[in-house]
Structure formats: C-alpha cells, structure tokens
Amino acid sequence: MIIQPIVDLVAICARKGVKNVILSPGSRCAPITLAFARHPEMHCRTISDERSAAFIALGMAQQTQKPVVLVCSSGTASLNYAPAVAEAYFQEIPLIVITADRPTEWIDQWDGQTIRQEKIYGNHIKKDFRFPDAFSHPDQSWHAHRISNEAINIAAAYPAGPVHINIPLREPFYPSATEKFNYSLPLPSVDQVHSGGALTEDQKIQLKNQLERYSRILIVPGQQRPNPKLQQLLDQLMMEQRAVVVTDTISNLQSEHSINYHDQFIPVAEAEKLSPDLIISFGKSIISKSLKLFLRSSGAEHWHIRPNGYIPDTYQGLTKQLFADPASFLTFLGQNISKNDPHFQEYWTQCDQHLADRLKQELSHAEFGEWKAIHQALSLMPGKSKLHLANSMAVRYVNFLGPRPQEVICNRGTSGIDGSNSTAVGCTFTTKEMVTLITGDMAFFYDRNAFWNNYTFNNLRVILLNNHAGGIFRIIDGPAMQPELEEFFETKQALSAENLAREFNFHYKQVTLEEDYLKALDGFFQPSVQPKIIEVITDSKNNTSILKEIKAKLKAGFQNSGQVS
C-alpha cells in the first residue's frame, strides 16, 4: 500500500537538492526505502550495518556540505546510528535521519523489534519530528509536508547538523505489483533566505576602539574545511606582523607563515613571552591539549567569531561573542589593528622555526616506528587528495608534523574511534581524488564493517599502524603508571588485516622493516582497480620510547638554542 505523504517526503527532498541516501535493509522501513529507491533523482546505497551506514553518510555530507538521508527499520537499528549522529551534531554536519517505528499504541507492549524511539538521540540532534501515523484528514498530510520541509531546512541551516524524523507505520508495508509512486504532485516548498553576518558601522567603530587596547593578538582557528580566502587573510596578518596565527592540522589553515609546531614547544618555552592579551578564534575544536591548557592559564581575553549558534568558552576567558562571518571580520581586523608587539611576534616565530628544523633532523635519524612511518607516507601522498585520520595517536602524530597540502579530515566532534573507516569510505563516494586513511589497529578493527558493502572504493588507501594494543595509553601519565595498563587499558589483540583484505578485495602488504615499508609505498598512491592497505607492524612499548626520545631531544635542543633561559 502506497503512503502518499512518504512519497511526498522523498519528492520534497529531491526538489530541495537532497540526492544522497544510505539505506539499511528492514521490513518496517519498506515504504520509506521503496519511496527513495524508486525516485529517479535519488542516489541510493545499501549499507547493512547501521553504525557503519551512519558514518558513511557523515563522510559523504562532510564533503558535499549537503544533507544526506539515512533510513533504517525500527528497534535497535536506530540506536546504532547514535555515535554518528552525535559526531555530526558536534561537527555540524547535515544528516536527515529517518527511522521507521511501530504505531504509538504498540510501544511498551512487548511487540517485536520495538523500543522507545521518540527523541532517541537526546540532546545530540538539532530537532526531532514525529510523522503522522494516519492520513484520513487533509491536515495530517499538510502536517507531514510541513515536517518534511522543516527538517530539511533545519539540517542545512547554519550551524548545520542532524535532524530526526520518526515515522510510525502500520501493515501492510509493501505496495502491490500494479501500484505506481507519484512524485509529481503539487507540493509546498518552504525556502530559507539567510542574510550575511556582516558587522554594522557602529559595531566596527566600537570594535576598532577596543582593539587599540591589545598589542599581543593571537588567532586560533579551529577545525574546518579548507578555505583559500581565510588562508590568504591569515597569512597576510602574519606576514604584516599584526597577529600571531596558531594552527592545528584539522584547521586546514596551516601554511609556511602560521605557527604549526606549538604542541612541541609550548611546554618548554617561556610562557610569559608567549602569553597573548587577546585570543581571537573561529571554527570548532583544536587538538593540542598543551595549547588549550596554555591559553586557559594565560589570562587573555577571548573573542570568538561565528555567524550564529552556540559559542563555548573553551579557553575560560570568553569576553565577546561576535556573530559575523570570519572572513569579513578578519578583513576588518587587518584594516584596523597596528602591528603586534615585535618581541611577542618574534618569539613565537623563532620557537616555531627552531622546532620545524629540529624535528626534520630528529625524524630522519629516528628508529623506525609509527611516527616515522606516517612521516614517510605523507612525503609521498598526492597533494590534491583527502587525508582521513583516526583518533588517538594517528591525528596527534600528524599534528606534530606541521603543514599538509591535503585536506585533513578527522572526527573530532566527539573524538571517538568508532567510525573512522566508514567516514573515509563515505568520502570516497563523493570524490575521484585519492582518499588516504591513517589509522591505528583498535579503530580499524572496531569499524571493519565499513568495507562490508557492494560498492567500489578503489581510490581508498589505508596505512594501518598495528601495535596490537591501544598505544596512546602508554603516553598518558595516569594509565601508563598503572600495573593494569596492558590488560585493561591497552586491550591487547592479535589480529592482522590479512584476512580482512582477502574478504573485501584489498591489495594488501604487511611490513615490519623500514626498507620493506618504503618498497610498499612505491606505487601505493598510484591509481588501481583495488583499494590498498599497508599494515605496519610495530611494538607499542617501542613506539612510546621513540616518541619520548624525540621529544626529549627536541626539548634539549630548544633549551640549548637559547629560546628559554
């Protein structure tokens, strides 16, 4: 039996530019699945594992910046979307999550595949909607059309994010062989018009007067996609010595002009010489814990720039929430501030340059391990490509290494390990560019179902760093000092990716020695008919020793250089 308002929901999605759909098989969701699958403009893919499906959708929406639809059956299927929904919420990625459900009267009646699905994603959703469960009155269809429009608009509106439509359905679920879906009915389409977040002339005058109080301005961009205009404005501010620009790799705004190696020198440099009197930030989170702790203890005032939405007090010094476009504000800033304190500007620059030079030397002579393996892979990776990083050590190692020409992508909204593979696979569905995932063994095997589908992703490359444990816990003082470290924190495992590669048709190479790794990298980034994995077998204890040894040498060299008294 065709439920026309569900067909209309799909038609409204198509008319509003929503084209990508990830479907997970189920019976209760059959009317929704068929409505999307039969629409000629919808690009539907089937992913059986709902947790993986949601992260694949997230990976697609990250790149397209347009809502991607998720459809699943009732019951725990919807709960499996939750990790990706939370990540999308904090990363501000648009998803339209559609879950089939039992009618209200059958909730809590011990009916099969039934849980409490309304508001199931709690506070990690922009808005929840409950679709009507009957359409005998015209107002119910009108209500369904209004929900369809509102959900799409809210998902895409800045700041973007996930929305949830829960659809109660009664049997029969399946149309007869002769029934046809009609997507061409006249339907309401509610469009949104947003004005730009520009400062008024009065606001500019006030801000200009306030800026005269500061002579040590530090700009800290958070996680975002590459933006050439922002990059140019930040580089200009740095070159003209009007501000110090400190960047993490996930900001996608690093350059030869910005401060990139702060994670290494902040703990050993003279805090007083580095301390700003004004922090200006935009974008989302940063990686560096040492930078966050330093800024929290600096006593500096903090202005955050954002067109609208919630603004957190990350550095415990928030004094101004500026609802404006970051590019327009940086343009204003460049026109209305004098040069920074020259000693402040010079000290940041000298510290960064010293670390950049020393790090290259130390890595070239270091013993082979995870950090060196990543460094060597990055040196050969195509500049015009996508670099996905798993959480824990992979993203930290890359952050230590300075500017990258690739777009850097990491799920830092919640910083979990649960969807790294799937997010990278979703990215491959949106681009012909090379997509490289650098990951640890825990994140990789946790999300192995990312590859369990019927689609090709031959542009995927995986550098799997397998130390058979959660190595990050060896560099965190708390767990590293506990006698239970190896059993209860590192979670030792003996898996390799060889069987997985065979099951999912990857070109596979396992290496333990540096010379074999370099041979495996030769041609690794060339086009191929198969995705490729290089599994680098290392030792968790040895990786920790290498990391600590390099950091100790960097610290000693920094102190001997006269950068600290």
Question: What tens digit of pLDDT does each residue of 323-356 get?
Answer: 999 999 999 999 999 999 999 999 999 999 999 9
Where are the domains positioned within the chain?
Answer: 4-168, 201-353, 366-552
479: alpha, beta or left, given left = phi > 0 and alpha = psi -120 to 50? alpha
Instruction: Report DSSP letters for 412-453, one per residue.
Output: TTT--STTHHHHHHHHHTT-SSEEEEEEEHHHHHHTGGGG-S
539: alpha, beta or left, given left = phi > 0 and alpha = psi -120 to 50? beta
Question: What tens digit of pLDDT does each residue of 21-74 get?
Answer: 999 999 999 999 999 999 999 999 999 999 999 999 999 999 999 999 999 999
In this chain, the answer to whether the domains covering 201-353 and 366-552 adopt an identical fold is yes
pLDDT higher than threshold 70 for residue 171: yes
Position 196 scores a pLDDT of 65
Three-class DSSP category at 528: coil
Range scoring the smallest mean pLDDT among 145-159, 183-197, 282-296, 455-469: 183-197
* Contacts by 346-349, CB closer than 8 A, 24 or more apart: 347/269, 347/270, 347/273, 347/274, 347/563, 348/244, 348/246, 348/259, 348/274, 349/244, 349/259
417: alpha, beta or left, given left = phi > 0 and alpha = psi -120 to 50? alpha
Domain 4-168 fold: Rossmann fold (3.40.50)
Q: Model confidence at 177, in pLDDT bands (50, 70, 90)?
A: confident
User: Which CATH architecture is the domain 366-552 placed in?
Assistant: 3-Layer(aba) Sandwich (3.40)
Place domain 201-353 in its CATH homologous superfamily: TPP-binding domain (3.40.50.1220)
Residue 116 CB neighbour total at 10 angstroms = 9
Question: What tens digit of pLDDT does each residue of 121-160 get?
Answer: 999 999 999 999 989 899 999 999 999 999 999 999 999 9
Residues paired with 436 in a beta bridge: 387, 461
Q: Closest Cα to residue 269, out of 559, 550, 552?
A: 559
Q: Model confidence at 488, in pLDDT bands (50, 70, 90)?
A: low
Is the bond preceding residue 159 a cis peptide, omega within 30 degrees? yes
